Chains A and B, each alone.
Chain A
Amino acid sequence: QVQLVQSGAEVKKPGASVKVSCRASGYTFSNYYIHWVRQAPGQGLEWMGMINPSGGHTNYAQKFEGRVTMTRDTSTSTLHMEMTSLRHEDTAIYYCAREGTIFGVLMGNDIWGQGTTVTVS
Protein backbone atom coordinates (compact mmCIF):
# COMPACT_ATOMS: atom_id res chain seq x y z
CA GLN A 1 0.00 0.00 0.00
CA VAL A 2 1.01 3.63 -0.31
CA GLN A 3 3.09 4.62 2.68
CA LEU A 4 5.83 6.84 4.01
CA VAL A 5 8.05 5.33 6.68
CA GLN A 6 10.29 7.63 8.68
CA SER A 7 13.50 7.06 10.58
CA GLY A 8 13.62 6.70 14.34
CA ALA A 9 13.72 9.21 17.16
CA GLU A 10 16.76 11.41 17.65
CA VAL A 11 18.25 13.21 20.65
CA LYS A 12 20.68 15.99 19.81
CA LYS A 13 22.58 18.67 21.67
CA PRO A 14 22.09 22.37 20.88
CA GLY A 15 24.19 23.40 17.90
CA ALA A 16 24.24 19.90 16.40
CA SER A 17 22.59 18.74 13.16
CA VAL A 18 19.94 16.11 12.52
CA LYS A 19 18.92 14.24 9.38
CA VAL A 20 15.48 12.68 9.19
CA SER A 21 14.65 10.14 6.48
CA CYS A 22 11.35 9.24 4.84
CA ARG A 23 11.08 6.16 2.61
CA ALA A 24 8.26 6.10 0.10
CA SER A 25 6.63 2.96 -1.25
CA GLY A 26 3.51 1.84 -3.11
CA TYR A 27 3.46 4.63 -5.70
CA THR A 28 5.61 6.25 -8.40
CA PHE A 29 8.17 8.16 -6.34
CA SER A 30 8.91 10.91 -8.83
CA ASN A 31 5.29 11.86 -9.45
CA TYR A 32 4.43 13.45 -6.10
CA TYR A 33 5.93 16.36 -4.16
CA ILE A 34 6.88 15.66 -0.55
CA HIS A 35 6.35 18.23 2.18
CA TRP A 36 7.92 18.44 5.62
CA VAL A 37 5.81 19.63 8.55
CA ARG A 38 6.74 19.85 12.20
CA GLN A 39 4.77 19.96 15.43
CA ALA A 40 6.24 21.17 18.70
CA PRO A 41 4.89 19.53 21.88
CA GLY A 42 1.27 20.49 22.41
CA GLN A 43 1.36 22.92 19.49
CA GLY A 44 -0.01 23.19 15.97
CA LEU A 45 1.40 22.22 12.59
CA GLU A 46 4.18 24.22 10.95
CA TRP A 47 4.95 23.87 7.24
CA MET A 48 8.70 23.74 6.63
CA GLY A 49 9.02 23.26 2.90
CA MET A 50 8.71 20.85 0.02
CA ILE A 51 10.73 18.99 -2.56
CA ASN A 52 9.98 17.76 -6.05
CA PRO A 53 11.42 14.22 -6.11
CA SER A 54 11.60 14.33 -9.89
CA GLY A 55 14.18 17.09 -10.27
CA GLY A 56 15.05 17.80 -6.65
CA HIS A 57 13.73 21.39 -6.72
CA THR A 58 12.92 22.70 -3.26
CA ASN A 59 10.88 25.49 -1.70
CA TYR A 60 11.50 26.38 1.93
CA ALA A 61 9.54 28.48 4.38
CA GLN A 62 11.52 31.65 4.94
CA LYS A 63 11.97 30.77 8.61
CA PHE A 64 14.02 27.70 7.66
CA GLU A 65 16.02 29.07 4.73
CA GLY A 66 19.72 28.44 5.27
CA ARG A 67 19.19 25.97 8.12
CA VAL A 68 17.18 23.21 6.45
CA THR A 69 18.10 21.16 3.41
CA MET A 70 15.69 18.74 1.74
CA THR A 71 17.10 16.12 -0.61
CA ARG A 72 16.00 12.93 -2.28
CA ASP A 73 17.58 9.64 -3.35
CA THR A 74 15.71 8.27 -6.32
CA SER A 75 17.57 4.94 -6.17
CA THR A 76 15.98 4.14 -2.81
CA SER A 77 12.82 6.31 -3.02
CA THR A 78 13.92 8.10 0.13
CA LEU A 79 13.62 11.74 1.12
CA HIS A 80 15.83 13.44 3.67
CA MET A 81 15.44 16.58 5.75
CA GLU A 82 18.57 17.91 7.43
CA MET A 83 18.47 20.71 9.97
CA THR A 84 21.60 22.38 11.30
CA SER A 85 22.37 24.58 14.31
CA LEU A 86 19.67 22.95 16.40
CA ARG A 87 18.04 24.92 19.21
CA HIS A 88 15.85 23.83 22.11
CA GLU A 89 12.81 25.21 20.26
CA ASP A 90 13.43 22.76 17.40
CA THR A 91 12.22 19.97 19.68
CA ALA A 92 9.24 18.60 17.77
CA ILE A 93 7.76 15.75 15.79
CA TYR A 94 8.83 16.02 12.17
CA TYR A 95 6.50 14.62 9.51
CA CYS A 96 6.96 13.99 5.82
CA ALA A 97 3.74 14.11 3.82
CA ARG A 98 2.86 13.48 0.19
CA GLU A 99 1.08 16.14 -1.85
CA GLY A 100 -1.70 14.14 -3.41
CA THR A 101 -3.47 14.63 -6.68
CA ILE A 102 -6.73 13.17 -7.92
CA PHE A 103 -7.68 13.50 -11.57
CA GLY A 104 -5.04 16.22 -11.82
CA VAL A 105 -6.44 18.24 -8.92
CA LEU A 106 -4.19 19.02 -5.97
CA MET A 107 -5.44 17.52 -2.71
CA GLY A 108 -3.18 18.78 0.02
CA ASN A 109 -1.28 16.14 1.99
CA ASP A 110 -3.00 12.79 1.56
CA ILE A 111 -0.33 10.44 2.94
CA TRP A 112 1.73 11.13 6.08
CA GLY A 113 4.68 9.44 7.64
CA GLN A 114 4.38 8.27 11.22
CA GLY A 115 6.54 11.15 12.45
CA THR A 116 10.05 11.36 13.87
CA THR A 117 10.58 12.86 17.30
CA VAL A 118 13.60 15.12 17.52
CA THR A 119 14.61 16.23 20.98
CA VAL A 120 17.18 18.98 21.43
CA SER A 121 18.59 18.85 24.92
Chain B
Amino acid sequence: EIVLTQSPGTLSLSPGERATLSCRASQSISNTYLAWYQQRPGQPPRLLIYGASSWAPGIPDRFSGSGSGTDFTLTISRVEPEDFAVYFCQQYGSSPPYTFGQGTKLEIK
Protein backbone atom coordinates (compact mmCIF):
# COMPACT_ATOMS: atom_id res chain seq x y z
CA GLU B 1 0.00 0.00 0.00
CA ILE B 2 1.29 3.43 -0.93
CA VAL B 3 1.33 5.84 2.02
CA LEU B 4 0.92 9.54 1.23
CA THR B 5 2.24 12.11 3.70
CA GLN B 6 1.09 15.70 3.34
CA SER B 7 2.80 18.73 4.80
CA PRO B 8 2.29 21.02 6.48
CA GLY B 9 -0.69 19.88 8.51
CA THR B 10 -1.95 23.46 8.71
CA LEU B 11 -0.95 26.43 6.59
CA SER B 12 -1.86 29.92 7.80
CA LEU B 13 -1.85 32.59 5.09
CA SER B 14 -3.47 35.88 4.20
CA PRO B 15 -5.54 36.36 1.04
CA GLY B 16 -3.27 37.18 -1.90
CA GLU B 17 -0.35 35.13 -0.61
CA ARG B 18 1.11 32.09 -2.33
CA ALA B 19 0.34 28.64 -0.92
CA THR B 20 2.59 25.62 -1.38
CA LEU B 21 1.30 22.22 -0.27
CA SER B 22 3.38 19.05 -0.37
CA CYS B 23 2.48 15.38 -0.83
CA ARG B 24 5.17 12.71 -0.49
CA ALA B 25 4.59 9.05 -1.44
CA SER B 26 6.20 6.02 0.21
CA GLN B 27 6.95 4.60 -3.25
CA SER B 28 6.94 5.90 -6.78
CA ILE B 29 3.49 6.59 -8.25
CA SER B 30 3.24 5.20 -11.75
CA ASN B 31 1.92 7.28 -14.65
CA THR B 32 1.78 10.28 -12.29
CA TYR B 33 -1.65 9.08 -11.13
CA LEU B 34 -1.76 11.72 -8.41
CA ALA B 35 -4.83 13.88 -7.79
CA TRP B 36 -5.54 16.87 -5.55
CA TYR B 37 -8.93 17.63 -4.01
CA GLN B 38 -10.36 20.58 -2.12
CA GLN B 39 -12.93 20.05 0.60
CA ARG B 40 -14.90 22.87 2.13
CA PRO B 41 -16.84 22.31 5.39
CA GLY B 42 -20.00 20.30 4.88
CA GLN B 43 -19.24 19.53 1.25
CA PRO B 44 -17.85 16.53 -0.63
CA PRO B 45 -14.34 16.79 -2.05
CA ARG B 46 -13.87 18.57 -5.37
CA LEU B 47 -11.30 17.41 -7.89
CA LEU B 48 -8.76 20.14 -8.66
CA ILE B 49 -5.80 18.46 -10.35
CA TYR B 50 -5.32 15.02 -11.93
CA GLY B 51 -2.28 13.37 -13.44
CA ALA B 52 -0.18 15.47 -11.05
CA SER B 53 -0.45 18.61 -13.18
CA SER B 54 -3.64 18.69 -15.28
CA TRP B 55 -6.55 20.94 -14.34
CA ALA B 56 -9.93 19.35 -13.82
CA PRO B 57 -12.67 21.11 -15.81
CA GLY B 58 -13.65 24.48 -14.41
CA ILE B 59 -10.71 24.84 -12.01
CA PRO B 60 -9.14 28.31 -11.99
CA ASP B 61 -5.55 28.53 -13.17
CA ARG B 62 -4.31 29.97 -9.88
CA PHE B 63 -4.20 26.31 -8.85
CA SER B 64 -1.32 24.31 -10.29
CA GLY B 65 0.18 20.90 -9.66
CA SER B 66 3.67 19.59 -10.22
CA GLY B 67 5.93 16.67 -9.39
CA SER B 68 6.61 13.08 -10.28
CA GLY B 69 7.81 9.86 -8.70
CA THR B 70 7.36 10.38 -4.96
CA ASP B 71 7.21 14.17 -4.54
CA PHE B 72 4.26 16.31 -5.56
CA THR B 73 3.20 19.89 -4.95
CA LEU B 74 -0.03 21.85 -5.17
CA THR B 75 0.47 25.59 -5.54
CA ILE B 76 -2.12 28.34 -5.25
CA SER B 77 -0.55 31.40 -6.82
CA ARG B 78 -2.66 33.96 -4.93
CA VAL B 79 -5.03 32.61 -2.30
CA GLU B 80 -8.62 33.84 -2.61
CA PRO B 81 -11.05 33.89 0.35
CA GLU B 82 -12.93 30.88 -1.05
CA ASP B 83 -9.71 28.81 -1.12
CA PHE B 84 -9.54 28.41 2.66
CA ALA B 85 -10.38 24.72 3.00
CA VAL B 86 -8.76 21.32 3.44
CA TYR B 87 -6.71 19.81 0.60
CA PHE B 88 -6.09 16.12 0.04
CA CYS B 89 -3.82 14.29 -2.36
CA GLN B 90 -4.67 10.80 -3.64
CA GLN B 91 -2.86 8.18 -5.66
CA TYR B 92 -5.12 6.31 -8.05
CA GLY B 93 -5.34 4.37 -11.26
CA SER B 94 -2.85 1.56 -11.01
CA SER B 95 -2.33 0.04 -7.58
CA PRO B 96 -5.33 -0.29 -5.27
CA PRO B 97 -5.90 0.70 -2.53
CA TYR B 98 -6.19 4.25 -3.82
CA THR B 99 -4.95 5.95 -0.71
CA PHE B 100 -5.36 9.56 0.38
CA GLY B 101 -3.00 11.81 2.26
CA GLN B 102 -4.12 12.99 5.70
CA GLY B 103 -4.88 16.49 4.44
CA THR B 104 -3.56 20.03 4.75
CA LYS B 105 -5.81 22.70 6.22
CA LEU B 106 -5.39 26.12 4.64
CA GLU B 107 -6.57 28.69 7.16
CA ILE B 108 -6.81 32.45 7.28
CA LYS B 109 -3.91 34.11 9.10
Q: Which residues of A contact B (CB under 8 A)?
A: 35, 37, 44-47, 49-50, 59, 61-62, 95, 97, 99-100, 102, 105-110, 112-115
Contacts and interface: CB of A to CB of B under 8 A. Distances in A.
B100 interface: yes
A113 B92 contact: no
8 contacts: A35-B98, A44-B101, A45-B45, A95-B45, A108-B35, A108-B37, A110-B47, A110-B57
Nearest to A107: B50
A28 B78 CA distance: 38
B97 interface: yes
B60 interface: no
A114 B43 CA distance: 7
Contact of A112 (B45, B50, B57): B45
B84 interface: no
B97 A61 contact: yes
Nearest to A64: B97
Interface string B16-58: 0000000000000000010101010000111100110010110
B90 interface: yes
Interface in B46-90: 46-47, 50-51, 54, 56-57, 88, 90
A100 B46 CA distance: 12
Interface of B: 1, 33, 35, 37, 39, 44-47, 50-51, 54, 56-57, 88, 90, 92-93, 96-103
Contacts of B101: 44
A44 B101 CA distance: 8
B19 to A, nearest CB: 19
A105 B97 contact: no
B92 A99 contact: yes
B50 A62 contact: no
A82 B57 CA distance: 32
Contacts of A44: 88, 100-103
B74 to A, nearest CB: 13
Nearest to A110: B47
Contact of A47 (B44, B57, B98): B98
